[in-house]
């Protein structure tokens, strides 16, 4: 009979872990990578003119054609709660756009003459984005040519 009791204990622990995991998903950030520890690759080369950005929160997303894309959070109180920023580092400058990031909806977008880049929460329908001509460079970043829409 001890075998049966041990088995029930394992099942109970598993059920508790699953419940806690689901609770964490429901209440966590819509951009999970912001919960990870900042690594060397996550630090921007250019850190000037970024007032209102928590530089310890920057996370590298992708690089293409010499352009690097990052996500970050604003400093406390500088923008509304739930705001997440998309930063684009190219050459000697950094483009920055911040917007609320909600589950299932596109976040901040940066457009220039060549490309549109959009920050994505973890749980967005990526198929719909690719149908609109976006290419996924990262789980949390989609881009498309500026003239595509």
- pLDDT recorded at residue 56: 95
Are 74 and 55 within 8 A, CB to CB? no
pLDDT at residue 140 greater than cutoff 90: yes
Between residues 47 and 101, the one the model is more confident about: 101
Q: How confident is the model at residue 27 (pLDDT cuts 50, 70, 90)?
A: low
pLDDT at residue 67 greater than cutoff 80: yes
Between residues 146 and 2, the one the model is more confident about: 146
Are 46 and 67 within 8 A, CB to CB? no
Min mean pLDDT across 11-15, 50-54, 74-78, 113-117 is at: 11-15
Helix (H) or strand (E) holding 20: helix 2-27
Contacts of 75 (CB under 8 A, 6+ apart): 52, 53, 54
- pLDDT recorded at residue 32: 95
Determine whether 41 is exposed, middle or buried from the number of CB atoms within 10 Å of its CB (0-12, 13-18, 19+): exposed
Left (φ > 0), alpha (ψ -120 to 50) or beta: where does 52 sit? left
Q: How confident is the model at residue 10 (pLDDT cuts 50, 70, 90)?
A: very low
Helix (H) or strand (E) holding 19: helix 2-27
């Amino acid at each position: 009979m001890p075998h049966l009791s041990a088995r029930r204990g394992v099942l109970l622990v598993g059920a508790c872990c699953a419940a806690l995991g689901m609770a964490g998903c429901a209440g966590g950030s819509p951009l999970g990578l912001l919960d990870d520890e900042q690594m060397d690759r996550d630090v921007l080369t250019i850190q000037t003119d970024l007032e209102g950005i928590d530089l310890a929160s920057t996370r590298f997303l992708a690089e293409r054609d010499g352009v690097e894309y990052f996500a970050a959070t604003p400093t406390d109180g500088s923008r509304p709660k739930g705001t997440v920023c998309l930063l684009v580092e190219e050459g000697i400058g950094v483009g920055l756009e911040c917007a609320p990031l909600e589950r299932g909806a596109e976040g901040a977008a940066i457009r220039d003459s060549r490309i549109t880049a959009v920050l994505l929460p973890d749980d967005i329908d990526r198929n719909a984005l690719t149908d609109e001509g976006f290419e996924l460079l990262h789980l949390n970043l989609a881009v498309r040519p500026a003239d595509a829409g």
